[in-house]
Structure 1
Amino acid sequence: MTSTTSPIRIALFLCDKPIATVQATDGDYTSIFDTLLRKSLPASEAGVEYSLDPYDVREALQYPENIDDYRAIILTGSAASAYENLEWINRLVDYVRDVATNKPHIKLIGICFGHQIIARALGGECVPSGNWEISITELQLTDIGKKLFGADSLNIHQMHRDHVPTVPPSFHLLGSTSITPNQGMVRLRDSANPDDFKPEDVQIFTVQGHPEFTERIVTKIIDARQGTGVIGGDIAEDGKRRVVLRNDGVDVVGNVIWRVIGVGSEGTGS
């Protein structure tokens, strides 16, 4: 059991805001990620207290005064492209590289755009793809992915057209789809054995998909992007058909996020 004597502090780097229709029902990204973390907290650790502290790294260029106050950093998704030459993106890339290099005890967790930023910061790249990938999608997992997630495959919401084409140096691939070869990756602590590791041995954990997204959130995003012509009618309708499929975002991916942070000593991957 993890000690509950002091709250676990998690920094949430806000890389965007949800669209207005999502904010009206589900709140901002701080609220959405807090819901994910509360619902996915391992049952054995129900008494754990945590704080999720938001930092607007996009508009306000906000960063923690003392990053050592935090156990982990979560980078959210964004409608921006991680390869853009913009001040806030370049600063975020530099910050992530610095933490990954000089603060290996702080866990880095990247979601969609966050996954792409981490890749760019640590020797990989993010590029545009010719195809949208949206709604519940099944991932084919690698051996390391199967071990970490405790499953042979994984269903998770997607909402992206940019992607990370290859795995950066020192990272291990977690899974792929026919559209996106790198659907997630981990970097382990130096002493960890890839053939025999625990989630807490993971220093950096990323997924291209959105464990924080729900059927309602994704349906609203699809409707909005179809309405503006960003997503075509056929792709939108196919996405709406799959939005009701099994979603492993909370029970599997969210649970792994906690175990990577170090909460939960029994269960998946232990």
Structure 2
Amino acid sequence: MGARRFAVLLCAEDSEYMRRQYGGYHGVFRGMLAEDGEAWDVYRAAAGDLPGDGEIGLYDGFVITGSCSDAHGDDAWICRLIGLLRKLDSMKKRVLGICFGHQILGRALGGRVERAKSWDIGLRTIQLSPSSKRFSSLELPAQLSVIECHQDELKELPAKAEVIAWSDKTGIEMFSYGDHMMGIQGHPEYTRDILVHLIDRLFLRGLITGSYADELKASMGACEPDREAWKRLCISFLKGGFS
């Protein structure tokens, strides 16, 4: 039996800092999720690079990353990604969507994504659903802190999907669809350092004001999320440890 194989569908462009410090976002996800003996590949989805029909079957699971693009947009690469996600659903492949990945996964399955009333940037506490059986074997606390950085959100669930976490800011912080697909609005892979860098990038791109960027950094404090708990949760889902 060959090594387990996973693919990161990269929906953002790596900055020079992210490449140098972390090996890009692919390196960040590998650092959080990869275990000995596994193969991890990257497809640069935002550049039009997606696995073909002959490659999909090689993988045990897929991770969709965050992005500066809108999940409610109709860019050619976004439409192609939606087509791929629907194919992965039909094949019951495990897919973990993060931030933009969470939103585009929800959209591909029939949900609705919209611009939120305001940005959500910083550390936020989310409430895990006490009725969800998905968390019972992991002995997680009822609440987890996670770094958020998003302007859009999944407003309406796909049919047959289940909300499995929420916050006072966002009604659908996590959802599951069958046993094979899960979305997380926050960034369990982020550290405080990555968030500070991203705030600077958002300012340089004109997406947030300088005063808001300064306010965010000043109010951030230590700002380290419950990364070990998120790591356990994501690994357990992606690799079939709970259903």
Which of 100, 108, 124 aligns to 2:95? It is 108
3-state SS in 1 of match to 2:156:
coil
Q: Partner residue of 1:177?
A: 167
Give the Cα separation in 2 of the matches to 1:12 and 1:153.
Answer: 27
Count of aligned pairs: 238
| 58-67 vs 175-184, greater mean Cα deviation | 58-67
Q: Partner residue of 1:63?
A: 51
Q: Partner residue of 1:128?
A: 115
- The structure-2 alpha-carbon separation of the partners of 1:32 and 1:124, relative to structure 1 and needing over 3 Å to count, comes to same
Give the Cα separation in 2 of the matches to 1:183 and 1:263.
Answer: 21
Q: How does 1:68-217 map to 2 (within 5 A)?
A: 68-100=57-89, 102-104=90-92, 106-144=93-131, 148=135, 150-188=140-178, 202-217=179-194
3-state SS in 1 of match to 2:168:
coil
1:218, 1:243 within 8 Å by CA — same for their partners in 2? no
1:145, 1:175 within 8 Å by CA — same for their partners in 2? no
Query: Cα deviations across residues 201-229 of structure 1 (Å, max 9, x unaligned)?
Result: x3111101111111111011112323554
- The structure-2 alpha-carbon separation of the partners of 1:238 and 1:29, relative to structure 1 and needing over 3 Å to count, comes to closer
TM-score if structure 2 supplies the norm length?
A: 0.88
Structure number with the bigger relative contact order (C-alpha 8 A, sep ≥ 6) is: 1
3-state SS in 2 of match to 1:58:
helix
Any gaps of 5 or more consecutive residues in structure 2? none
Any gaps of 5 or more consecutive residues in structure 1? 42-47, 189-201
Give the Cα separation in 2 of the matches to 1:231 and 1:146.
Answer: 39
3-state SS in 1 of match to 2:48:
coil
Give the Cα separation in 2 of the matches to 1:112 and 1:160.
Answer: 7
TM-score if structure 1 supplies the norm length?
A: 0.80
Query: Cα deviations across residues 75-116 of structure 1 (Å, max 9, x unaligned)?
Result: 11110001111111011111101210x211x20110111111
- The structure-2 alpha-carbon separation of the partners of 1:235 and 1:181, relative to structure 1 and needing over 3 Å to count, comes to farther
- CA-based RMSD: 2.2
Query: Cα deviations across residues 208-265 of structure 1 (Å, max 9, x unaligned)?
Result: 111111111101111232355422424652455336234123x12221221113365x
Runs of 4+ in 1 over 4 A off after TM superposition: 144-147
- The structure-2 alpha-carbon separation of the partners of 1:235 and 1:28, relative to structure 1 and needing over 3 Å to count, comes to closer
Q: Partner residue of 1:226?
A: 203
Taking only the aligned residue pairs, the percentage that are identical comes to 25
2:50, 2:81 within 8 Å by CA — same for their partners in 1? no
